[in-house]
Amino acid sequence: MTSKFEEDPSPRPGQKGLGVIALTDAADADLLSDGTIRFRYHHQAEAVVDYFLDDRPHLLKQFTTWTAAQVSALEDTEAASLLARRVIHWTVRYTARHRTTRLLKELADQWSTNQEQAACDMLVLAALDDHAGDLVRSAYRRWARGEAGTLSDTFTIVLIRACRRLIDVHPTSMLGRLAELATLTVDGSQQRGGAVTEAIGQALNTLWDQVSQRPAIRIQLKQWTTDPRSPQGTAAQNTFAHLAQRGSSSGPALLTDTDRDRAWLIGMWRNALPTAGEPPQSVATAFAYWMQTALEQPDLRDDIEQIFREAVHADHDAYYSGGRHVAMQKLLFSWAPTPPPANQVGEAVHLRDRLLTALQEQDPATPLKPHAPQN
């Protein structure tokens, strides 16, 4: 076995492993007087694996690669599924016994390229395991926040789908993971693939479709907006932008849902307007959808305009943010550029300019009569 993993066969001085007695105990096995080993439970193959990994922890990565390849190499779908279930069983057990998620993460990452269902099943079962669940869910938080390094697109999608399936059991924490993963759709200077964004959107839609969960979601996102510069503030911004892109037959679902919360909508749009830098693409896409709705559906126009005006500055807000005003201007000109493209109707420019004028008039620094003679 060790030769397959290209382990250096040269003997090493001194004891490097656990020692045979400690090793057999760690693997739930007994060392008999004749030198043989007897395992204490009936899953002998898994017990042998445990024994091997306890004795050769430095070969964990090679072993993981080899194990993942065994499942992927099987042409018989049913046989591959059976083997994957066995591998999942001892991987979760190993995670619980050794209190480490390294094997779980590496195996799921490798499977994510060609055994997505098995990888997702393993992440879900590990998160629900009585002995490993807390450890695993904490690891998902670190992975989602990027604390364990950059995640591949394929692994990110599998993790998103696992969180989506865990929503019924852990709705609040899984919302947190999805929101944090949404912030990782841009990795440094590199844009994540569209499949990642699509997976995030599908997962958030699934959660929002559970009407009973919406009040908790609104509360959670509102709490995250208290500091727009924090990771939670960014997560709330991205999560809301995804939800704001949800459509219905009559317009944006957040605007037309019977249980809509107008004050919450204004607050979330306010958080979506960055006070410095450029608006995220997800926000720009959602904003364009709402403005296009205002253009095409006059019965929703006044409501949308008023929500955007109050998102920049509400009458009860003593502090006027010029940064939000600038962000709104950027979004408006992104939706209706100057000069307008050939395929854009003139009404879009008129709607843009009307909203720009209204925003200018509500700026406390704007003179009440800008054209009156100055004393």
End-to-end CA distance of the chain: 93
Q: Give the residue with greater pLDDT, 335 vs 340.
A: 335
| 12-21, 317-326, 348-357: least confident range | 12-21
The pLDDT score that the predictor gives to residue 19 is: 63
Given a contact cutoff of 8 angstroms between Cβ atoms, the answer to whether 62 and 8 are in contact is no
Reported confidence tier of residue 258, pLDDT bands at 50, 70, 90: confident
SS (H, E, C) 194-243: HHHHHHHHHHHHHHHCCHHHHHHHHHHHHHHCCCCCCHHHHHHHHHHHHH
Report the relative pairing of strands 37-39 and 29-31 from DSSP bridges: antiparallel
User: In DSSP terms, which residues pair with 191 in a beta bridge?
Assistant: 186
pLDDT of 165 above 80: yes
Burial class for 317, CB neighbours closer than 10 Å (0-12, 13-18, 19+): exposed
The separation between CA 63 and the C-alpha centre of its own chain, rounded to angstroms, equals 29
Question: How far is the C-alpha of 225 from the C-alpha of 119, rounded, in Å?
Answer: 33
pTM (two decimals): 0.65
Average confidence score pLDDT of the chain? 82
Q: Each residue of 107-163: pLDDT tens digit? A: 999 899 989 999 999 999 999 999 999 999 999 999 998 888 888 999 999 999 999
The pLDDT score that the predictor gives to residue 188 is: 47
Q: Quote the tokens at residue 323.
A: 């940064």
User: In DSSP terms, which residues pair with 29 in a beta bridge?
Assistant: 39
For range 70-76, the mean pLDDT? 75
| 27-36, 47-56, 363-372: least confident range | 363-372
Question: How far is the C-alpha of 272 from the C-alpha of 281, rounded, in Å?
Answer: 11
Reported confidence tier of residue 350, pLDDT bands at 50, 70, 90: very high
Q: Give the residue with greater pLDDT, 102 vs 366.
A: 102
Reported confidence tier of residue 16, pLDDT bands at 50, 70, 90: low
Query: Which one-letter DSSP state was computed for residue 252?
Result: E
The pLDDT score that the predictor gives to residue 114 is: 86
The pLDDT score that the predictor gives to residue 189 is: 45
